[in-house]
């Protein structure tokens, strides 16, 4: 039998994790809404495109803030910025690895000279 306090803590943790997931999901191009519905691309009367939860319009009167309606330009900008950051990180990692390889090859050459010097 489990402790009721433990069950309560686990439920709070699940809710907290879910809210963090919702906050993170507002970044970039959404695949799925926090409510579990799919996302569709809609065009407003002014011609702007939005990524919108299927049930966003239905629940607009009692919107709890957990349904998506994100401007497509903003979502694309976030996505491109993330890709740029990833590319910068990859370049930094590559340069570090190249430096490490160069240092290791120099060490190998030194060791070869030491080995050849001994009978």
70 CB-near residues (< 8 Å, 6+ apart):
26, 30, 50, 51, 52
Question: Please, what is the average pLDDT of the chain?
Answer: 84
Map residue 75 onto helix, strand or coil. helix
Q: What is the mean pLDDT of residues 77-82?
A: 92
Give the tens place of pLDDT for each residue, 26-75.
778 888 787 778 888 888 888 999 888 887 765 555 556 667 788 889 89
Distances (CA, A) of 64 to 20, 26, 33, 68, 103: 15, 15, 13, 11, 57
Q: Could you give the percent of the chain with pLDDT greater than 70?
A: 84
Higher-confidence residue: 6 or 23? 6
The structure's pTM equals 0.61
């Amino acid at each position: 039998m489990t402790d009721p306090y433990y069950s309560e803590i686990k439920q709070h943790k699940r809710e907290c994790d879910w809210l963090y997931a919702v906050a993170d999901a507002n970044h970039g191009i959404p695949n799925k809404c926090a409510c579990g519905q799919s996302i569709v691309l809609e065009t407003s009367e002014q011609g702007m495109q939005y990524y919108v939860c299927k049930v966003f319009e239905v629940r607009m009167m009692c919107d709890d803030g957990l349904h998506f309606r994100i401007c497509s330009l903003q979502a694309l900008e976030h996505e491109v910025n993330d890709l740029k950051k990833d590319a910068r990180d990859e370049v930094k990692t590559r340069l570090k690895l190249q430096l490490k390889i160069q240092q290791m090859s120099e060490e190998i050459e030194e060791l070869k000279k030491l080995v050849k010097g001994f009978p």
